[in-house]
Structure 1
Amino acid sequence: MPLDDAIRARLDAYVELLLRWNTRINLVGRTTTDQVWQRHIEDSLQLVPLLPEGAGPIGDLGSGAGLPGLVLAIATGRPTHLVESDRRKAAFLNEAAARLDLAQVQIHATRIEEARLPPLAVLTARALAPLGTLLAYAHRLLAPGGIALFPKGRMAETELAEAQPAWSFTLDRFASRTDPEATIFRLSDIRHVQPQA
Structure 2
Amino acid sequence: MIGGEAEARAFVSARCDAAALERIERFIAALREENTRQNLVARATLDTVWQRHIADSAQLLDHVSRGTKPWLDLGSGAGLPGLIVAAMRPDWPIVLVESRRKRIEWLERMVDALSLAHCRVEGARLESIDTFTAAVISARAFAPLERIIRLSARFSTGNTIWLLPKGQSAAQELQDLPKRQRALFHVEQSQTDPGSGIIVGRLAGKAGS
Q: TM-score, normalised by structure 1?
A: 0.91
Change in Cα spacing, 1:193 to 1:87, as seen in structure 2 (3 Å) is: closer
**Structure 2 counterpart of 1:185:** 199
Aligned-residue sequence identity (percent) comes to 37
Corresponding residue pairs, total:
194
Change in Cα spacing, 1:29 to 1:112, as seen in structure 2 (3 Å) is: same
Q: CA deviation at 1:130?
A: 1.0
Tell me the amino acid that sits aligned with residue 14 of structure 1.
F
Q: Aligned with 1:180: secondary structure?
A: coil
Determine if the alignment matches structure 1 residue 88 to structure 2 residue 137. Answer: no
Structure in which a larger fraction of residues adopt strand: 1
Equivalent of residue 156 in structure 1, options 161, 170, 182: 170
More displaced, 125-134 or 92-101? 125-134
Determine if the alignment matches structure 1 residue 118 to structure 2 residue 146. Answer: no
After TM superposition, the structure 1 = structure 2 runs for residues 15-164 of structure 1, keeping only pairs within 5 Å, are 15-77=28-90, 78-164=92-178
**Which string of whole-angstrom CA distances, capped at 9 and with x for unpartnered residues, describes residues 11-56 of structure 1?**
0011111111111011111111111111000100111111244242
Q: CA deviation at 1:172?
A: 3.8
More displaced, 32-41 or 109-118? 109-118
Tell me the amino acid that sits aligned with residue 9 of structure 1.
E
Contact 2:174 2:182 in 1 (8 A): no
Q: CA deviation at 1:164?
A: 2.6
Tell me the amino acid that sits aligned with residue 85 of structure 2.
L
**Structure 2 counterpart of 1:174:** 188
Q: CA deviation at 1:144?
A: 4.2
Which ranges of 4 or more aligned residues in structure 1 deviate by more than 3 Å? 190-194
Contact 1:172 1:185 in 2 (8 A): yes
Q: TM-score, normalised by structure 2?
A: 0.86
**Which string of whole-angstrom CA distances, capped at 9 and with x for unpartnered residues, describes residues 76-126 of structure 1?**
221000000001001000000000000101101101111225210000000
Distance in 1 between residues matched to 2:163 and 2:148, nearest whole Å: 10
Tell me the amino acid that sits aligned with residue 16 of structure 1.
A
Tell me the amino acid that sits aligned with residue 85 of structure 1.
S
Distance in 2 between residues matched to 1:19 and 1:144, nearest whole Å: 39
Gaps of 5+ in 2: 1-10
Q: Aligned with 1:37: secondary structure?
A: helix
**Structure 1 counterpart of 2:20:** 7
Tell me the amino acid that sits aligned with residue 69 of structure 1.
G
